[in-house]
Structure formats: C-alpha cells, structure tokens
Amino acid sequence: LEDPHFITTDPNALQILEHASKLLAEDQVIAIPTETVYGLASNALRPEAIKGIYKAKNRPLDNPLIVHISSLKMLRSILPNGEIPIVYESAIKRFWPGPLTILLPKSDLIPSEITCNQPTVAIRFPSHPVARALISKCGFPLAAPSANASGRPSPTLASHVLTDLNKKIPLIIDGGQCSFGVESTVIDAIGTKDPVILRPGGVTYEELVKIPEFERLRVYNKDYVDKKQEIAPTTPGMKYRHYSPNAKMVLVDVCGRVGARDIIEREIQKMVNGGMDNIGILVTGSSKTSNGAQPMSVDNFYSNKECAIINDFKVSTANDQNIIEYTLGDSSHPEEIARELFKGLRYLDERKVDCIIVEGISEEKEGLAVMNRLRKAASKTIVE
C-alpha cells in the first residue's frame, strides 16, 4: 500500500467525504476523527469489511466493536423490530450525539464479527462533524474501534494513527486533536438489574446519574462486579493490557494525600538512582490554554544536571541522565487531563524514555476515565 495521505478537515470538503465513502463502500478500512479518539472505520454490516479492522490493528478476535450511527432512523433500521429500549430514551436525548455508547439487543443484520457472539451490540452516535457527515453519506453504520495498534494508547491526533498503522490503511482523515481525548463511556442498562458503566469515558458518572432511569447507576469494578465476567470477560477492556506506552509505567496513585508530591519526587529519584538514562514524567501543573488543543509540552533537558527542578520536584541527576516532563494540565480541570493523556504517553514514548512516572488524579468527573486508563496501562501502581 501507498502511504496514507492526510486531508485537513474542512466543512466544505465534499471531495474528501466522496473519496472516503467510496473506500468504505468497497469494504476498505480507513481512519476517521471522532470527538473522543480517532476511529478505525469500516462498513458495520459487512463481515469482510469488519475483518479488515481486526487485521489492521491486530485486535484480538474476541474483543467486540462499537457500531457508529448518524441518525436514530439508522439506529432503528438495525435493531430487532426497530425498537429502542425505553430505559435509554432520556440518555439518548441528553447525550447523543456525543461520547456515550449503549448496549442494545443485537439483530441478525449485525454480523457476529462485530459482537463476538454476544447477544448485545454497542452503539454510539458520534458528534464529530466529519464522522457524522461520513456515516450519513455512506448510508450504512460504521464499525470503529480506536485507531491504534492493539494495546497501544489510543490516537488523539492523526499523526498517532500514522505511527501505528502506516501502510496498513489507505486513508487517514485529519480532524486535528480530539476534543475529549478518552474513549466514549460504555453503559449497559439492559443486561443487569441496575445500569452499569462498563467503561468510564467522555460522559461522566456525575452527568449520567442525574438521568432518572440511571439513578442507581453502578461503575464496574468500583461498586459492581460480575463473577461470571471476572472468569470469562465479555468486555475485553477488562481483559487485555491496554492503552500502554512502550516504556514501563509507574502510576503514583496518591492524589490529594498529605505528602503526595514527596512520594512522586521519591519515585523519580529512585529511577534516577537506578541508573535510567531517560526518565519521562507525566504530571499535572498549570492550566493549558483555553482552546485546550495547544502542544504546550516542554522538554526539560537541563544544562545543569546537578539538581533539576521539575515541576517543583527536586531531583539530583547525573550528567547523562535526562528527565523529560510532559504537563497534562490543571488537576482541577480533569477534562484537560483527559484530552492530553494519550498524547502525553505517546510524546514520552517517541522520546524513547526508559520509564514513565505518572501522577494520579482524583476520580471525579473525567478523572474516573483517566484513572481507569492509567491503571490498565501501568506496570506498577504505588498507593500508600
């Protein structure tokens, strides 16, 4: 395959949509921007097209895909008897289009390659204008997992997709940096007595629980665990190591506790003393700009390596040791941290750090999704 070409998002870019929809109609797989992360899309109604997704990202064959729609009419056309369960009605009104995925009964129109033989299908109505326009132009729903190579951090820039899938797909549509930066929230309100968040994401628990039907909303692994799931997980977000940088990652999960900064500092110093040449740190700090999409990261290649002051951390390093810092954003704005999270992990990976030390944040609002991803990515978590 030739290198995929980049196309900038332009509201009038009908030609791009034309080209993309033609590829999709031929059962090809392409990368598209969404408001959460980039997606790797193909025709959700065609087994051959869906198989192409698993192949391109080397995804385990038992990890089901999300189906993306661009209208409720399209949704009804793929549901058994065209019925949307009443329990979801308010959530759909409130959060669609947007970063919420719901589990629905599967009809025969949905190939088993999508659902991996589960009785439910995960559906999402994205808000990103390019994704919406493209699905609508295609006239069929698009299956789309995140457009990373399996196991890697999800892509929030078109260049991340290129890094992982170069020469594997014919087209990446560049829509700039994804505004949420973490994947959609996946909820199941039909398979259990009380609705459950299977994967926290762009729509927060605090927002969802306000919906009358979701008053008793649980969060999987926090206040709800299904024994059967633990033995044979059907939501492989729970099963596979995920979102991981190449470097070994240590999560310092001591947010808000007295002496938290000292503990992070001590961990950095431990890595330094252990002789690591390149140490990456991913920390909270001052707020990013208001438009939220600026690459504000700073390399701290200190000229005086005797004592580097990193984000108020005091660490003594040897001459040939580098500490590379990426500031995620203000911890009191978890949406900023979410937006920068995967970009920060990939930024440090590109600089070939030997290890990454990450500062945990509070699990409020988008912080729940951030900590969920960090826990799955970390090879070691420090809690004390």
One of 42, 70, 115, 146 touching Mg ion (CB under 5 A): 146
Q: State which residue, 242 or 311, has the beta carbon closest to ligand TXA.
A: 242
Comparing CB distances to Mg ion, the nearer of 155 and 268 is: 155
Residue 118 touches which of Mg ion, ligand TXA, none (CB < 5 to 8 A by kind)? Answer: ligand TXA
C-beta of 124 vs 333, nearer to Mg ion: 124
- Which residue stretch of 56-64, 138-146, 251-259, 358-366 sits at the interface with Mg ion (rule: CB under 5 A)? 138-146
CB atoms within 10 A of CB 348: 27
Min separation Cβ 269 and ligand TXA, Å: 36
Residue nearest to Mg ion as judged by C-beta position = 146
Q: Which is nearer to ligand TXA, 84 or 260 (CB)?
A: 84
Query: For Mg ion, which is the closer residue by CB, 244 or 331?
Result: 244
Nearest approach, Cβ of residue 377 and ligand TXA (Å): 14
Name the minimum Å distance from CB 310 to ligand TXA.
32
From the list ligand TXA, Mg ion, none, which binds 269 (C-beta under 5 to 8 Å, kind-based)? none
* Gap between the Cα atoms of 1 and 28, Å rounded: 12
Nearest-approach distance from CB 116 to ligand TXA, in angstroms: 8
With left for phi above 0 and alpha for psi between -120 and 50, is residue 151 left, alpha or beta?
left
Q: Which is nearer to Mg ion, 44 or 323 (CB)?
A: 44
Is 244 a binding residue for Mg ion by CB under 5 A? The answer is: no
Interface contacts to ligand TXA, rule CB under 6 A = 34, 36-37, 39, 63-66, 99, 101, 103, 115, 118, 120-122, 124, 144-146, 183-184, 186, 198-199, 234-237
- Nearest approach in angstroms of CB 150 to Mg ion is 8
Say which entry of Mg ion, ligand TXA, none residue 179 contacts (CB below 5 to 8 A, set by partner kind).
none
Least distance between ligand TXA and beta carbon 222 (Å): 16
Which does residue 331 bind out of Mg ion, ligand TXA, none, counting CB within 5 to 8 angstroms by kind? none
Least distance from ligand TXA to the Cβ atom of residue 353, Å: 25
Residues in touch with Mg ion (CB under 5 A): 146
